[in-house]
Amino acid sequence: MPQQGLSRIAGLLIYGIVAAGCGVFGWSGLKGERGLAALAAAEAEEVRLTEKLAAVEAERVAAENRVRRLGTDYLDLDLLDERARSVLGLVRPDEVVIRPVAR
């Protein structure tokens, strides 16, 4: 009889350890550092970064276009005029300049 009680306690102890292990691994699989919640966050981050990459690439293409248009191989006079006016503050003698008043 004492042998049966001891084996029953050992069985319950093993069952408890296995159940606790399953609980720990289950929690880790859902909420852990590499679990499903982390996967969802990483996927959302991937979408955000992909959108940001597309915006930066569009900016780069626009900048490359402007640089090409101001290069020695192809000179866009309208763009050159625009940049000279903007950067240097140049105006033609026959133009009227209206500046906004700072408030």
Residue 9 falls inside a structural domain:
no
Would you say residue 16 lies in a domain?
no
Q: Is residue 20 part of a domain?
A: no
pTM exceeding the 0.85 threshold for the entire prediction: no
Q: Name every residue whose Cβ is closer than 8 Å to that of residue 66 and which is 6 or more positions away in sequence.
A: 79
Residue 78: give the domain boundaries.
Answer: 47-103
Does 62 fall in a domain?
yes
Asked whether residue 87 is domain-assigned, the answer is yes
The one-letter amino acid code at 19 reads A
Provide the domain count of the chain: 1
Tally: H helices and E strands in the chain: 3, 0
What's the helix, strand, coil split of the chain in %, to 5? Answer: 75, 0, 25
Q: What pLDDT tens digit does each residue of the chain (103 aa) get?
A: 567 777 888 888 888 888 888 888 888 877 878 888 888 899 999 999 999 999 999 999 999 988 888 777 887 888 888 888 888 877 888 888 787 888 7
Report if residue 1 sits inside a domain. no
